[in-house]
Amino acid sequence: MSKSILRRLLLSVSGAVAVILAGVLALSVSAAREYLSGQLQMQSRDAAVALALSLSQPGSADPAVRALLVTALFDGGNFREVSFQDAQGNPVVQRRAGQAHPAVPAWFRDVVPLRARSATQAVSDGWRQMGTVTVVADDTYAWESLWRSCVRMTALVLAAGLLWALSAWFLVRWLRLRVLPELGDEVRALGQGIWEGPPAAPRVSELAGLAQAVNQAREQLRAQAESQAARTESMQAELDRDLVTGAASRKAFLHELECALAESGEEAAAHRRYPMGHVLVFRQRDLAGINRHMHRALVDQWLRMVYDRIHAAVAARRHPGAVLGRLNGSDFALLFPHSTTPVATLLAERLRAELRHLRIPVGEGELCRWALALTNYTHGARVGEVLARLDHALMQAENAGDDRLQLAPEEVPPALTMGESAWKEVIQNGLRLSLYALAVEPVVDLDGHVVRHEAQLTLQASGEAEPMPASMFIPVAVRLDLSADCDLQAVRLGLEWLAQHRGELSVRLSLPSLRQSGFLVQLQRLLVESPALARRLYVEVDAHGLVEQYASIEDLCRLAARMGTRVGLRRLAQQFNALTRLHGLPLAYVKLGGSFVGGLAASPGSQALVSTVIDLASQRDIDVCAEDVPDAATRRVLEQLGVRLMRGPGATV
């Protein structure tokens, strides 16, 4: 086998060398041919120029002188033809040699043609052209010179090829008899795991490098055998950690979550642990925009800082078993096992405050936004159900427009644990089968008079006893790009309600619908079909839209003004930055609510802010409505501030 390999090696290398030598010979012959052809052309051109210059002299007009000059050039040089023609192309003087036969084989002249082209030069007397001279150099000597050069080059190439053949033969013999046996012995020793013996010593000095390489390989194998376990552990650690932040990877986090869910209540009781835990997920909603406006290295540095700050805040709690991981590019998750809901909520609020301090500008100076969702779990729950609840809560948080913590308790309707494909089928079936309806509630002033009605879209899903409110399916519709269809259905149902009832009605529109192509056109088509009803209709949008997509809100207001429809603004308390953009918008009312109204009675600063809102609204003929009024004390404060429209448990006290 070894002889066959060496023979193939010798033949392949010899063939390559033969091709190289043949190429060198061909290039050398071609170069010599081009050079001689150029010399012949140059000789003809120089002679033609010299003869034309001589014939152009005033004393060369005599035909005898011309013939003498042409003959002198022909006899004095190696030329095959020298001639002078008049201006009409008729030969005047012509000297031409007979056909020469150089001492070169005919086949050589066919294989390596040598071109001896003629050179022509004009002869003039001042501005008048007298004729032309034509000179063709004799190529006999060039052919013979080229032939001799080819013979010498061929001999040199053959000698080089013979020398290579001898060298290759000796080289192969040396490899087969000396190098290969020693190399085989050393490699067999390494293959058998014998690297504890003495260093390999070469039999000849030429093998010193090979022996050194074998010894180095022996040392490397020993080191690899000793460090294999350590490297395996290191690789496992890398798989369990996010490369950018150092947080637990998605795989590692889900493994910890599975272990926490698999623990039984008896095991928790045996270790005196609380039998319930919590999972918090916080998502950076603007990571794509941050990546567009910042260098990748700066984004990674900021994400590491976010992880370090959150990890430090969690570590300060000294809660055993807490795991902070990164589920994907924008989602972080905290596993807080054996914790009560108040403790987990308190920690989540502290982390929310920390995340607010870590926000950075994105786009046109606005700060990036976080969405937070918290859910509890009991032992024995499934990972998919926990993640589905968190995903739906995150959608609700993103749709809310602020960074308030969204709670997703374990006792939730089964619909919230559906996947996106199932949600899409439910929403589209509702549109196709007319399963949507409106839940209408009156809005009354302090005197008990109905000012208008407010409607919320509901969906009667199959298998559900009660219809689902919009807060359950609109966040999913936004993710699936179906929110525009749902909002148009709400407007359509609102117009139908107005056709059957007196008064005015307000329906809600989601901000993502305004960004969808063709939504305003379809909305206008609905309003144009019922102009009288459109004048009794209100459409309501979130206040944070004035900050995030002012142009879309402006387009909606212009459309509503043309149709006689009025526009309201909700959740102003969660986005007071919108106050600076109220001017120029024909708004009918703004709403304050949530925790802002809940803590109004004990906060002079919040009361001053409400007073400012009322002043700005009154200047623009905009009503102010307070929602989520908790008690009579808050109601009295709102009355004193000038708020006439209220909703909530304390509004009717």
Residue percentage of the chain with pLDDT more than 70: 72
Provide the pLDDT for residue 143. 66
Q: Given a cut of 80, is residue 73 above it in pLDDT?
A: no
> What Cα–Cα distance (Å) separates residue 186 from each residue in 171, 191, 432?
21, 9, 79
The CATH code belonging to domain 241-412 is 3.30.70.270
Q: What is the mean pLDDT of residues 12-27?
A: 72
Asked if residue 366 lies in contact with residue 346, where contact means CB atoms within 8 angstroms, the answer is no
Q: What is the mean pLDDT of residues 543-558?
A: 89
Residue 295 DSSP label: -
> What Cα–Cα distance (Å) separates residue 395 from each residue in 473, 549, 571?
10, 19, 17
Under the banding of pLDDT at 50, 70 and 90, the label for residue 332 is: very high
Q: Given a cut of 90, is residue 530 above it in pLDDT?
A: yes
Q: What is the mean pLDDT of residues 579-584?
A: 82
> What Cα–Cα distance (Å) separates residue 396 from each residue in 179, 372, 407, 419?
75, 10, 10, 15
Provide the pLDDT for residue 1. 41
- Residues in the chain, total: 653
- Nearest CA-CA partner of 335 in 270, 274, 248: 248
Measured CA to CA, the distance from residue 570 to residue 546 in angstroms comes to 11
Query: 37-141, which class in CATH?
Result: alpha beta
Provide the pLDDT for residue 593. 81
Measured CA to CA, the distance from residue 328 to residue 335 in angstroms comes to 16
> CB-based contacts of 263: which residues, under 8 Å, 6+ apart?
379
CA 154 to chain centre: 60
Q: Given a cut of 90, is residue 218 above it in pLDDT?
A: no
Instruction: Provide the whole-model pTM.
Output: 0.59
Q: What is the mean pLDDT of residues 333-360?
A: 91
CA 290 to chain centre: 13
Measured CA to CA, the distance from residue 30 to residue 251 in angstroms comes to 69
SS3 1: coil
For domain 432-646, give the CATH superfamily: EAL domain (3.20.20.450)
Provide the pLDDT for residue 266. 62
Q: What is the mean pLDDT of residues 141-155?
A: 73
Over the stretch 624-642, which tens digit does the pLDDT of each residue have?
A: 998 888 888 888 899 899 8
When the pLDDT of each residue in the chain is averaged and rounded to a whole number, the result is 81
> What Cα–Cα distance (Å) separates residue 307 from each residue in 294, 303, 315, 319, 633?
18, 6, 12, 17, 42
Provide the pLDDT for residue 603. 87
CA 242 to chain centre: 19
Measured CA to CA, the distance from residue 182 to residue 180 in angstroms comes to 5
Residue carrying structure tokens 């009361």: 607
Under the banding of pLDDT at 50, 70 and 90, the label for residue 116 is: low
Over the stretch 275-291, which tens digit does the pLDDT of each residue have?
A: 788 999 999 988 988 99
List the helix and strand counts (H, then E) for the chain: 23, 20
- Conformation bin of residue 272: beta by default, left when phi > 0, alpha when psi is -120 to 50: left
Provide the pLDDT for residue 205. 63
Under the banding of pLDDT at 50, 70 and 90, the label for residue 65 is: low
Tokens of 128: 């008048």
Measured CA to CA, the distance from residue 396 to residue 475 in angstroms comes to 5
Q: What is the mean pLDDT of residues 586-610?
A: 87
Name the range with the highest mean pLDDT among 53-67, 338-352, 398-412: 338-352
Measured CA to CA, the distance from residue 133 to residue 120 in angstroms comes to 6
Q: Given a cut of 80, is residue 213 above it in pLDDT?
A: no
Residue carrying structure tokens 């976010």: 306
Q: What angle do CA 240, 245, 250 make, to 5 degrees?
A: 40
β-bridge pairing 405-408 and 366-367: unpaired
Residue percentage of the chain with pLDDT more than 90: 26
Name the range with the highest mean pLDDT among 205-214, 253-262, 416-425: 253-262
> CB-based contacts of 324: which residues, under 8 Å, 6+ apart?
247, 248, 307, 310, 311, 314, 332, 333, 334, 335
Residue carrying structure tokens 């000597």: 141
Three-state secondary structure readout of 461-514: CCCCCCCEEHHHHHHHHHHCCCHHHHHHHHHHHHHHHHHHCCCCEEEECCHHHH
Provide the pLDDT for residue 492. 96
- Nearest CA-CA partner of 48 in 117, 134, 124: 134
Provide the pLDDT for residue 23. 75
Asked if residue 282 lies in contact with residue 351, where contact means CB atoms within 8 angstroms, the answer is yes
158 or 98, which is more confident? 158
Q: What is the mean pLDDT of residues 209-216?
A: 71
> CB-based contacts of 48: which residues, under 8 Å, 6+ apart?
119, 120, 121, 133, 134, 135
567 DSSP β-pair partners? 539, 587
Under the banding of pLDDT at 50, 70 and 90, the label for residue 414 is: low
65 or 263, which is more confident? 263
Asked if residue 437 lies in contact with residue 476, where contact means CB atoms within 8 angstroms, the answer is no
Measured CA to CA, the distance from residue 257 to residue 277 in angstroms comes to 10
Measured CA to CA, the distance from residue 29 to residue 149 in angstroms comes to 8
Q: Given a cut of 70, is residue 457 above it in pLDDT?
A: yes
Under the banding of pLDDT at 50, 70 and 90, the label for residue 264 is: low
β-bridge pairing 323-326 and 566-570: unpaired
Q: Given a cut of 70, is residue 194 above it in pLDDT?
A: no
Domains of the chain, residue spans: 37-141, 205-239, 241-412, 432-646
Under the banding of pLDDT at 50, 70 and 90, the label for residue 449 is: confident
Asked if residue 299 lies in contact with residue 290, where contact means CB atoms within 8 angstroms, the answer is yes
Provide the pLDDT for residue 2. 44
Residue carrying structure tokens 């002012």: 550
Q: What is the mean pLDDT of residues 25-35?
A: 69
